Amino acid sequence: MKNRIKKLLLLLAFCMLLISFSACRQAEGGDLEQEMDKYVGEYNDYEVNDPSLEIQKNNDGTYTVQIGIFRLVYLDDGVGTIERDGIHFFATAPNGKEIEGTITLEEDVATVAFLSPEWEEYSSVKEYKYYKTSDSPNISIGY
């Protein structure tokens, strides 16, 4: 009888250990998901204090990115993917050429860096900063 109780207690302890391990793994996955979603939201331009960067996560895991730069350009069809260092995106410039860039985040400040040589047709400035004002993007489709 004592042997049987010991076995049951050992089995119970083992089950509790497995449950704890499983809960920890789920929490880690949730943290990763939350880390990826930290980009989602609406950001204001420092110069004009208006919403000029919108980032929305899509069902397929990609991101819709809309970028406005006052009196310069509005990119409304950006599509990005999460990478180790941020969101890597492509968008169509007003001249129809594809522009490539990255969005990195430091706390609530997003930095958009344009990587394509085509960007030089618009500006010699390659980086723009925006500050987060909302976790809910205001995506406009079909401009």
Q: Is the pLDDT of residue 126 over 80?
A: yes
CA contacts within 13 A on the Cβ side of 65: 26
Angle, CA 71 vertex, CA 69 and CA 77 arms, to 5°? 45
Count CA within 13 A, CB hemisphere, residue 61. Answer: 4
Least confident of 27-36, 44-53, 93-102, 122-131: 27-36
Q: CA angle, corner 67, sides to 64 and 70, nearest 5?
A: 165
Note the pLDDT tens digit of each residue in 101-115.
Answer: 999 999 999 999 999
Q: Please, which residues have CB within 8 angstroms of residue 65's CB and are 6 or more apart in sequence? A: 53, 54, 55, 75, 78, 79, 80, 87, 89, 91, 103
Closest by CA position to 134, among listed 19, 36, 32, 53 = 53
The predicted model scores a pTM of 0.74
